[in-house]
Amino acid sequence: QLQLVESGGGLVEFGGSLRLSCAASGFSLNSYSVGWFRQAPGKEREGVSCISMVDDSTYYRDSVNGRFTISRDYAENTVYLQMKSLKPEDTAVYYCAAGQFGSCSSGFVPYNQDYWGQGTQVTVSS
């Protein structure tokens, strides 16, 4: 079965850290750009960070730049999102997604993704 499975979400205090994992089964992430989206209650899904299939170049939305780091472990077939200095406004369900587009700056949108994970809740208390 081809799927993405996220883990690592939870409840953390303001300023804390979490690391999300996105593991693929049934296919290799090596041939995909992989990103993280998030969706808070009553809001649209938004792209948070992406790592390109071409050269592992990365993209971050402005509000997380400098606090979040995306990385890829080829051996583990897993992509990680390290989140530091978390804020209450980071509270959302986080989804990983994989798509075969080369550029995160232009291709990192929901309709370009071929696979989605089930989501993991991140809650930051103030």
pLDDT at residue 124 is higher than 90: yes
pLDDT at residue 106 is higher than 90: no
- Using 50, 70 and 90 to split pLDDT, how confident is the model at 115? very high
Cβ distance 98 to 77 under 8 Å?
Answer: no
H helix intervals, the chain = 104-107
Closest CA to 60 of 39, 74, 46, 72: 46
pLDDT at residue 105 is higher than 90: no
Residue 11 pairs with which residues in a beta bridge? 123
Mean pLDDT of 12-36: 97
Residue with tokens 């409840």: 11
Write down how long the chain is.
126
Query: For 52-82, what is each residue's pLDDT tens digit?
Result: 999 999 999 999 999 999 999 999 999 999 9
